[in-house]
Structure formats: C-alpha cells, structure tokens
Amino acid sequence: MSVEPSLRFKIAREDWEFEAVHRLNYKTFVEEIPQHTRNAEQRLVDKFHRENTYAICLDGDLLVGMVAGRGTRPFSLDNKVPDLDAHLPAGRRALEVRLLSVEKAYRNGFVFSRLVGLIAQHFKDLGYDLAIISGTVRQLRLYKHLGFIPFGPVVGIGEAQFQPMYLTLETFIQMSKALSPPSAEVNKILASYLPGPVDVHEEVRKAFEQGPISHRSDVFMAEFRSTKRLLCELANAKNVEILLGSGSLANDAVCAQLSLLGQRGLILSNGEFGERLVDHATRQSLQFDVVQMSWGEPFDYHAIRQRIEQMENPGWIWAVHCETSTGILNDVRELKKVAEEKNLRLCLDCISSIGTVPVDLEGVYLASCVSGKALASFPGLSMVFYNHELEPAPKKLPRYIDLGYYAAQAGIPFTHSSNLVFALQTALKRTCWNDKYNQIAGVSVWLRERLRELELQVVASEAHASPAVLTIALPSDVASKSIGWQLKKSGYLLSYNSEYLLKRNWIQICLMGEWSRDNLITLPDVLSVLCAQRRKKRDKAGLQPAGI
C-alpha cells in the first residue's frame, strides 16, 4: 500500500486530535494488545496524558499513527524497574517514549520511521538525548535491529509483556531517516552501492568539469599517454587502448580481434556476463564451444581441460574474471595455467575486477575494462589491455572496433573526450590501490558476517567470492523490487532492477566507487527490517510494532 503522498506528520495540538489519540490508544492497547480492560466508550486516556507530547500521522482527518514522549519523572518504568537510573548511561537526559501505535493498513515502515523521527527531533531540540521504551516482547528482534539496548527484567503479564530498552536520540533520528526519509528528501541519496555508475571523488568531479580541449592538442595527447601508462601499471599489461563507449564496446573489440585468428575457441560461463560473452561471440559469427556452470558455481577446471582436449585445433579461451551477477571471482591463475598447458590465447572480461582486487594481466591476450566501475571515474570510457603487437585490419573489421587501427594512430584515431580522460587520470592518480584493496576486503568480511547473522543469504561462497560484489538471494516471500525501491527511498542505491536480478529475486551491495563505512554500517539492519516488514504471510499484522 502506497500511502505516503496523502500523509501529514505533526505534533498534536487540537482537541479533536487528542480525542482521536484516545480512540487509537484504546484500539491498540485494549483490543489488540490486552493491556487494559474494555469499556463502553472505546476510548483510553493515558494516565500521563497531560504531560505527554504526541507526534501523530494524519491521512486527511483520519489519525493513522501516534507516539508519545514525556520527560517528567517518575516515568512509568520507574514503578516497574527498581533503581532505573542504574541501568542507563550516565550523564544523559532521558525521556520516555510510549504509546506507539500504527493502524495495520499503514504498517509499511514509512509511518513508523517518520513518527519516531519527529518525536525524537522534538525532544532533542528541548535538550534530551536518550529515549527509553517498553518494547513489546513480540517485536524484540525488530527493536534490536533498530539499535535499542535491552536492560532490566521483562515487565507485564500474559500477552502484554514488555522489555525495557534505551536508545540515544542521535541514533534514533539516524535510523528513522535511514528507514524512510521525508518525501522531500526521497531523492537525497545517502550512499550508492551500485556496480556502476559509482560515486566519484570531488577531485574526479572537478577534473571532469574542466573545459574540453582538442583531442589533437599536444596537451591532450601527453595526458592521454600518461593515462594509458597508469592503466598498464595498474593491471601489469604492456599496452591498452581507450575507447569511447561502454564495456560492451570493449568486448565487441575483443571479439573482433578473435575473429582475425580464424580458430575455434572456448567460452566459459557461470553467470549473466559469461552468457553475454557467448552472445558477443555469436553475433560476431565466431566458432566456439561453451563450458557452462550453474550461476554462482566456480569453474570446474578438470571439465574445462577435458572439453579442450575434445576440440579440434582450439586457439583461444574467454572468460569473465569477476562475474558481477553472482559475485563469483573466477581464478585467473588457474585460467592462465590452463591456457599455457593447452597453448591457448587467454581473454578476460575484467570489467568488475580491475580496481577491486589485484589483477595481473601478464601473458593475457586481451582483457576488457571500464572507467565507471572500480576505477571510480565517470562512465563513458572502456579499454582493452593486450601484450602483443597489433596490426590494423581495414578489410576485415569496422573502423571503430579495430584495435590495430587505434594502435597505429597512437590510440586516438577519432574524437576523444578530454573531460572523461582527465577524470579517469585523476581517479587513477589519487587512489592508493593497495589501501583500497585492503579496505574492500576487510569491510567485505564484516559485511558478509553481518548478513549471515541477519539470515540473509549471499549467493557466492566466501572461498570463490569477489570482496566487492555481494549478491543477496532474498526470501521467496520478499520481492527484491519492492525492497530495492524502499531502500532507494531510504537513501541507499543498490542494484536490483536488472532483468536477471529481478528474475532471481536478488539484490546487490557493491563496493566499487567512493563509499563510506559509516553509511554502510546501518545498511544490513535496514535491509533486514524492510524484509521483515514485507513478510506478511508470517504475521498478518507484520513485524511493524503495534505499540510500546
């Protein structure tokens, strides 16, 4: 249910709003949670009503959600938890948050997050910095996901049992914004974890924003050569050609070079991008066999060797290094070994690996890459690395994908973009690659463990996984498209909308461009909470808390 556009959030001040509060109070804490006895009026006035401040949600003139805050002692918990202050962090000014109630039809996460954010901000402005609650024991997992810290014994009896908890208002506000920001901030992205395009550093942005210069100028040609040197040093290759276009263009150029060999080849596939290599080769009318593994499974090198032995005069082998669809990182050393044993030219799609892990292209025949992924620059440039001499093939290949023509023209046969080249060069220069590899690897270990704790399944096994791509297989009763959309509203850009991801109900966290660990820390919990809220079949009322 999409109810956000018609909703208003405010602090209750009018008599009719307070009357609606009493009615919703009764509906929640008498009829749904049997904490109080029924009455003929079907209204429940809280005993601290005159001291309460209520944040409310209105759909037109209908009250659909509320939460109360109160800073006057004694709190209701003072009568239930002996020596309450001994359980709380010292030096904090506490308020008690109570009476959280959201109508069932509106328990989609948006109303809840806006209510708690509003009441927390209201009291923070008054000088309070700690919230204490009595959270229903039926929702303890959700409260822990939100960061609440339990203390003291469970209070209440029967179906109305509550766990005392506390949370700093700073964390309260941060989590409420992360779960669902105000409508005006829907397009304000906290963090991007897309495989591309990626967030770029301010220095890279400034380099791109310089005025364009001619691709025939001495300045551009010198900087272009410098950029190529940086790329070759990064990937340990002798040569590289930089093309204006996407990774698909680079792979078409690889395909065109293979067509000049006149030999049959072998393509390896264990995911979407391996299948795309098959498509590239088919469109180029190459002669080839395929070794195809299940998505998410590493290559079987014994089976690969057997297939090569069955082929007549094979000349090349082509595979994806990082299979972005599943997060599998295929073993380049093993592929090099197979190619050397069988005297084959090895070609690699390194589009999602160069810049995330050390890549050594020594001895590799051709390898593709792009600017807009882990090299952390703008999309628009692709490149093909190689370690041999290239000759133009004017009678066999189109000009735009003839790498030999590029080589003969010092890499600039056509108009080039100085803006994209200077941005890429800046990204290459400013990055300490070993530090980046270590940062990605360390955070990936933590992130994978956190997802495991939250019972979220990562597709690629740890032994064969790229540290920069975590593909998550969501439960069948949780739609990846809905979760991805809600995460976007919450300020997190994740990859989920590709056809192959939607088909498998997968969503991805990718660590390629500029990203912050501070923003990443809350992401697994936000993802888990959103999944829990979508599991309506497990609990008709959802995991949205009915009251505190």
pLDDT in tens, 89-108: 988 999 999 998 988 777 76
Rg (CA), the chain: 29
Backbone angles phi, psi at 107, to 5 degrees: -85, 65
**Stronger pLDDT, 326 or 152, i.e. the higher one:** 326
Q: Does the structure show a pLDDT above 50 at 388?
A: yes
> Stretch 144-168: mean pLDDT, rounded?
81
**Stronger pLDDT, 108 or 458, i.e. the higher one:** 458
- Looking at residue 496, its pLDDT comes to 95
- Please state which of the ranges 81-85, 346-350, 444-448 shows the lowest mean pLDDT: 81-85
> Stretch 349-355: mean pLDDT, rounded?
98
**Stronger pLDDT, 180 or 128, i.e. the higher one:** 128
For residue 211, give the DSSP letter: P
For residue 216, give the DSSP letter: T
pLDDT in tens, 354-369: 999 999 999 999 999 9
- Looking at residue 536, its pLDDT comes to 47
Task: Indicate the pLDDT class of residue 548, thresholds 50, 70 and 90.
Answer: low
Q: Which domains does the chain have, with CATH numbers?
A: 4-183 (3.40.630.30), 191-199+433-531 (3.90.1150.10), 202-430 (3.40.640.10)
**Stronger pLDDT, 534 or 38, i.e. the higher one:** 38
Q: How many residues would you count in the chain?
A: 548
- Looking at residue 246, its pLDDT comes to 96
Task: Name the H helices within 236-315.
Answer: 247-259, 272-283, 301-310
Assign 338 to helix, strand or coil.
helix
Break the chain down into helix, strand, coil percent, rounded to 5.
Answer: 40, 20, 40
- Please state which of the ranges 2-11, 89-98, 131-140, 150-159 shows the lowest mean pLDDT: 2-11
From the number of C-beta atoms within 10 Å of its C-beta (0-12, 13-18, 19+), residue 482 rates as: middle
Q: Which of 118-122, 123-127, 299-303 ranks highest by mean pLDDT?
A: 299-303
- Euclidean distance between CA atoms 401 and 413, whole angstroms: 11
Task: Indicate the pLDDT class of residue 145, thresholds 50, 70 and 90.
Answer: low
- Looking at residue 143, its pLDDT comes to 72
- Looking at residue 186, its pLDDT comes to 42
- Please state which of the ranges 161-175, 209-223, 380-394, 493-507 shows the lowest mean pLDDT: 161-175
- Looking at residue 542, its pLDDT comes to 45
pLDDT in tens, 319-337: 999 999 999 999 999 999 9
> Stretch 217-232: mean pLDDT, rounded?
97
Among candidate residues 173, 182, 111, 118, the one with its CA nearest the CA of residue 146 = 173
pLDDT in tens, 502-543: 999 999 999 998 887 767 877 887 888 788 776 644 454 444
Residue 296 tokens read as 């998410």
pLDDT in tens, 228-276: 999 999 999 999 999 999 999 999 999 999 999 999 999 999 999 999 9
Assign 201 to helix, strand or coil.
coil
- Looking at residue 187, its pLDDT comes to 42
Task: Indicate the pLDDT class of residue 189, thresholds 50, 70 and 90.
Answer: low
Helix (H) or strand (E) holding 260: none
- Euclidean distance between CA atoms 187 and 517, whole angstroms: 21
- Looking at residue 182, its pLDDT comes to 44
Residue 314 β-bridge partners: 264
Q: Does the structure show a pLDDT above 80 at 179?
A: no
Task: Indicate the pLDDT class of residue 277, thresholds 50, 70 and 90.
Answer: very high
pLDDT averaged over every residue in the chain? 89
Which residues have a Cβ under 8 Å from the Cβ of 47 and sit 6 or more positions away? Answer: none
Cα angle at 167 between 531 and 474, to 5 degrees?
A: 10
- Looking at residue 140, its pLDDT comes to 74
pLDDT over 70, % of the chain: 91
Residue 534 tokens read as 């979508």
Q: Does the structure show a pLDDT above 70 at 394?
A: yes
Residue 237 tokens read as 């290759």
- Looking at residue 177, its pLDDT comes to 63
Q: Does the structure show a pLDDT above 60 at 180?
A: no
**Stronger pLDDT, 462 or 524, i.e. the higher one:** 462
- Looking at residue 219, its pLDDT comes to 95
Compute CA distances 477 → 110, 185, 283, 296, 533, whole Å: 20, 29, 38, 21, 11
> Stretch 298-324: mean pLDDT, rounded?
96
- Looking at residue 190, its pLDDT comes to 62
